[in-house]
Amino acid sequence: MTPTLYKHRTTERPGRHSLPGVAALVTAGVYRFSRNPIYLGMAVLLIGWKVMLMNWTGIIGVAVFVGFITRFQIIPEERMPAVFSTPVVCLLFPALLPDRSGIFVLSCRWELASCNSNRRRQTDLKQLARFRMSMQILFIHGAGDGGYEADEVLVASLRAALGKGYMIGNPEMQWDESALDFGWTKQIGEEIAKVDNELILAGHSFGASMILKCLSETTINKKIKGVFLLAAPFWSGNEEWKAGLKLKTDFAGNLPADVPFFLYHCKDDEEVPVSHFEQYRQKLTWANFREIKSGGHQLNNDLTLVAKDIKTL
């Protein structure tokens, strides 16, 4: 099961990340037959154990297990597929053949009646419609040890400040030592391609600089509403490891036309000095620059100002 999940870049623990960060709803492999193969396997093992011990009263314990898992794990997971285009109901014991709607029917009738009700399906469709109508934001985190975890706080702040009507994706970038840019430019392009319709790009630190590199050196076929860059380093110098990170001399002229750019930097940023911000100010004369008095490299984990600018689009 794990290789199947990894292939589709999703998780075996729904809810660990925000939904926009989940890449796919897996329906291949063992998931063709059961939405919950782990729980199904555990239930079968318990039944087999009770039969081996000839302890028929122990079947009551199996029933308690099924009820507990259904109430506290399966039902919460069932609410998640509403954001995907494929309707799926997460049942414990599905039959081998799905009906035309793609919803599996329990072979032993242990099904949740609410999952098949018209009211539930209407609710799921409304949730899907709200997701598709929301403005999608792709946030690219910073690099370094703990960079993703640290920027999750930034994402949480932005989500709270924006409120309803926005969906923020925060995929975790993988570090490729064999690539000159460590593989980030390609990954950012792939993440942009996954987004339906138009989107907003935001990035922090290393991620912000790689957004500029991606937009100025690759072809993007998506409509970008705006770009928001936080504490972006301006790569320079002759060190070999910086060769694939530096922007081309004419990068500003190769950025998407008619797209508003916003750059933010705190004066007391000790990790990326404000001099980097000034270099971008010289190169991107038409962009919007927000110089913040204090907040350090993480902007005090408060992106209220960024959210305010996003709402102006």
**137 - beta bridge partners?**
168, 200
Is residue 65 in a domain?
yes
Same domain, 100 and 55: yes
Residue of 51 and 14 predicted with greater confidence: 51
In a domain, 170, yes or no: yes
Residue 227, beta-bridge partner list? 201, 261
Question: Which of 105 and 143 is assigned the larger pLDDT?
Answer: 143
Number of H helices, E strands in the chain: 10, 6
Tell whether 199 and 225 lie within a shared domain.
Answer: yes
Cβ count near 230 (within 10 Å): 30
Q: Provide the domain limits for residue 30.
A: 2-124
pLDDT of residue 48 exceeding 90: no
Tell whether 230 is covered by a domain. Answer: yes
Q: What is the pLDDT of residues 267-303, one digit of tens each?
A: 999 999 999 999 999 999 999 999 999 999 999 999 9
Domain boundary among 72, 103, 124: 124
Task: With respect to residue 129, please indicate whether it lies within any of the assigned structural domains.
Answer: no
DSSP letter string, 162-207 = H-TTEEEE-PPPPP-TTSTTTTHHHHHHHHHHHS-S-EEEEEETHH
Q: Is 249 exposed, middle or buried (0-12, 13-18, 19+ CB in 10 A)?
A: exposed
The closest of 27, 56, 21, 242 to 136, measured between CA atoms, is 21
165 and 22, same domain (yes or no): no
The pLDDT, as a whole number, for residue 12 is 52
Segment 160-181 mean pLDDT: 93
CATH of the domain at 164: 3.40.50.1820
Judgement on whether residues 148 and 115 belong to the same structural domain of the protein:
no
> In the chain, how many domains are there?
2
Domain annotation covers residue 165 = yes
Q: What are phi and psi of 79, to 5 degrees?
A: -75, -20
Of 124, 158, 178, at which residue does a domain stop? 124
**Which of 28-42, 98-112, 157-171 holds the top average pLDDT?**
157-171
Determine, yes or no, domain membership for 199: yes
In this structure, are 205 and 63 located in the same domain? no
- Residue 151 and residue 119 share a domain: no
Indicate whether 48 and 185 sit together in one domain. Answer: no
pTM (two decimals): 0.61
If asked whether residues 160 and 105 sit together in one domain, one would say: no
Q: Is the pLDDT of residue 21 over 70?
A: no
**Are 101 and 163 found together in one domain?**
no
Least confident span in 10-19, 128-137, 226-235: 10-19
Question: Which whole-number Å values give the CA distances from 270 to 16, 182, 193, 226, 239, in the listed order?
Answer: 32, 24, 34, 27, 21
Stretch 54-78: mean pLDDT: 76
Based on the domain organization, do 234 and 112 belong to the same domain? no
Q: What is the mean pLDDT of the chain?
A: 79
Q: Which of 124, 147, 180 is the endpoint of a domain?
A: 124
Cβ neighbours of 38 (radius 10 Å): 13
Q: Which residues pair with 253 in a beta bridge?
A: none
Over pLDDT 70: what percentage of the chain? 70
C-alpha triplet 173, 178, 179: angle, nearest 5°: 65
What is the SS3 string spanning 31-69?
HHCCCCHHHHHHHHHHHHHHHHCCCHHHHHHHHHHHHHH
